[in-house]
C-alpha cells in the first residue's frame, strides 16, 4: 500500500501503536494526529477488520463503535 510509505508511525516505535490492555494510546494518537495519511490508514483498518492496535488515530474500541454507527 503506497500510503504506508508516508505514514509517520513507520518512523516511530511500533509498540506505541499496540499498547498492552489498559495501556495508554496517547502517544500513538498524537503521531496519528499529525500524519498526512491518517484517513487512508483508518480506511484500511476498517475495510480489513483490523482488530488490534491504533489505526488512523482510533483504538480497537473506537473503530468498533464507528463501524456500528455506519451499519
Q: Alpha helix (H) ranges present in 2-59?
A: 26-33, 38-47
Q: Which residues are annotated as a binding site for [4Fe-4S] cluster?
A: 9, 32, 35, 41
Contact 60, 51 (CB under 8 A): yes
Amino acid at each position: 500500500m503506497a500510503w504506508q510509505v508516508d505514514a509517520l508511525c513507520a518512523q516511530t516505535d511500533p509498540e506505541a501503536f499496540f499498547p498492552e490492555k489498559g495501556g495508554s494510546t496517547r502517544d500513538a494518537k498524537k503521531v496519528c494526529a499529525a500524519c498526512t495519511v491518517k484517513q487512508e490508514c483508518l480506511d484500511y483498518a476498517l475495510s480489513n477488520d483490523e482488530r488490534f492496535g491504533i489505526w488512523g488515530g482510533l483504538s480497537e474500541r473506537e473503530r468498533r463503535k464507528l463501524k456500528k454507527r455506519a451499519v
